[in-house]
Chain A
Amino acid sequence: MTLTLSGEEIGAKLEEKFPGSIVESGKDSFLVRSEFLLPVANYLKDTPGLDFDFLSYITAVDYYEYFEVVYRLTSLEHNHSLVMKARCYGRDNLSLPSVVSLWRGANFQEREIYDLMGISFDGHPNMRRIFLWDSFEGHPLRRDYL
C-alpha cells in the first residue's frame, strides 16, 4: 500500500528550504507559489529520502476565481506519494512553469490541460492543442465554456 505523506510535514520542510514558497499546507497536500514550482519540484525529485521519481498525473480544476493545477508525485523506491498544488488567478493568459524537464510523462498531460483548460506551460517543448484542432476556439473544460 502506497503511503501518502503528510502535506503539512513536507510543506514545513520546504518552507524552511525555500522561504516564502508555500502558501498553505493541509493534511494531504500543500500549495506552492507558482514562481517556486520548478525549484520545489526539482528538490522533491532529487532529495534522498523523498525521491519522487514518478509523476502519477497532472490535472487542473476550475474554481472560477482561480485555476488549481494538481500534481500527484510518487516515489517508486520508497512507495510513498504526495500531492502538490499550484494556482493561477484570472481567466486569460494563464501560465505555469512546465515540469517536462523533470518528468517526461508531463508532456501530453500539460498539453491536455492547455487544450481543455487554457493554462499554458512555460518551457514546454511543444505547447499545442492535443485533442482538439488548432483553429478551435475556447477551452471546453472551463466551467464558463457554454
Chain B
Amino acid sequence: MEIDINKIQVYSSSELDKAEAETIEALRMRSQQSIPDPDEWLAQELKGNVLLTTVDFFLNWARRSSLWTMLCFPACCAMEFMSATASRFDLSRFGMEILRASPRQADLMITAGTLTWKMAPQIKRIYDQMAEPKWVIAMGACAITGGTFAQSYSVVPGYNHLIPVDVYVPGCPPRPEALIHAIQMLQDKIAKRKNL
C-alpha cells in the first residue's frame, strides 16, 4: 500500500521525524495480518488431542488399569480381601475395585481361600468361562499349596493344580498391603505383554 506522506499527521516539521513516522507507518501497514501457526492446517477438533504410542502399550495400559476381579472366595482370605477393597486400603486407587459376580465380565481371579475337591469343578468352570486375556492371583497359603490342610483328604493342594497362576501372595492371610503389591506386580507383568 502506498503511503501518502502528506496525510500523516506529524507534530514536528523536522525531516528526521518525518522519516521515522514514514518507517513506522509503513511497518504498521504491512503487519495487519498475524503470521499463521505451523499447525494451522489441522482441523480445530484435532488440535491438542493427538498422542502417538504403540498398539501394545495402549492395550496393556487399558488392561492393567481396569482389572475387574472375579468373586472366588471359598474361605477366610475373603475377609482380608474385603478389607483391602474397603475404604481403609482402597483398592480402587488401582482401578480394580469392581468385583464381578459374572465371569464373563472379569479378567482377574483372586483365589481367596481353601479349596476342597468338592468345590474344585465349580472353580475350574468359572475360570474357563472368563474371557481372554485373564490372570490369576493365588492369595494365601491355602491357595498356593493347600497350606495347613495340604495333607488333608479333601483339600486341593494349591490352585495351580487346576488353573495357571500368575502371582503368588504368601501369608495366612496376606496383609492387604501384600495383596495390593501383588496386584501391582501383576500390572507390571501385563505392561510387558506382547499382543501383536
Closest to B152 in A: A140
Would A133 and B153 count as touching, CB distance under 8 A?
A: no
Contact pick for B118, options A133, A140, A145, CB 8 Å: A133
CA distance A144 to B153 in the complex (A): 14
Q: Is the interface of B mostly helix, strand, loop or mixed?
A: loop
Size band of the interface chain B makes with A: under 10
CA distance A133 to B116 in the complex (A): 10
Q: How many residues of A contact B (CB 8 A)?
A: 7
Answer whether residue A76 sits at the interface, using C-beta atoms and an 8 A cutoff.
Answer: no
**What 1/0 mask marks residues of chain B from 18 to 60 whose CB sits below 8 Å from any chain A CB?**
0000000000000000000000000000000000000000000
Report chain B residues within 8 Å CB of A132.
Answer: 118, 154
Answer whether residue B94 sits at the interface, using C-beta atoms and an 8 A cutoff.
Answer: no
Closest to A146 in B: B153
Report chain A residues within 8 Å CB of B118.
Answer: 131-133
B117, B153, B154, most chain A CB atoms within 10 A = B153
Report chain A residues within 8 Å CB of B116.
Answer: 131
CA distance A131 to B155 in the complex (A): 12
CA distance A140 to B118 in the complex (A): 15
Nearest-Cβ distance from residue B23 to partner chain A, whole angstroms: 101
Nearest-Cβ distance from residue B85 to partner chain A, whole angstroms: 30
Report chain B residues within 8 Å CB of A138.
Answer: 153
Nearest-Cβ distance from residue A125 to partner chain B, whole angstroms: 21
Would A140 and B117 count as touching, CB distance under 8 A?
A: no
Nearest-Cβ distance from residue A133 to partner chain B, whole angstroms: 5
Report chain A residues within 8 Å CB of B117.
Answer: 133
Report chain A residues within 8 Å CB of B153.
Answer: 136, 138, 140, 145
Report chain B residues within 8 Å CB of A133.
Answer: 117-118
CA distance A140 to B154 in the complex (A): 9
Report chain B residues within 8 Å CB of A136.
Answer: 153-154
Report chain A residues within 8 Å CB of B154.
Answer: 131-132, 136, 140
Nearest-Cβ distance from residue B119 to partner chain A, whole angstroms: 10
CA distance A132 to B118 in the complex (A): 6
Using a CB-CB cutoff of 8 Å, which residues 110-146 of chain A contact chain B?
131-133, 136, 138, 140, 145
Nearest-Cβ distance from residue A100 to partner chain B, whole angstroms: 23
Using a CB-CB cutoff of 8 Å, which residues 139-196 of chain B contact chain A?
153-154
In the complex, besides A131-B116, A131-B154, 5 extra interface pairs with C-beta distance below 8 angstroms are A131-B118, A136-B153, A138-B153, A140-B153, A140-B154
The residues of B with any CB-CB pair to A shorter than 8 Å are: 116-118, 153-154
Q: What 10 A-B pairs come out closest when comparing CB atoms?
A: A140-B153, A133-B118, A132-B154, A132-B118, A133-B117, A131-B118, A140-B154, A131-B154, A145-B153, A138-B153
The residues of A with any CB-CB pair to B shorter than 8 Å are: 131-133, 136, 138, 140, 145
6 A-B pairs, CB-CB below 8 angstroms? A131-B116, A131-B118, A131-B154, A133-B118, A136-B153, A145-B153
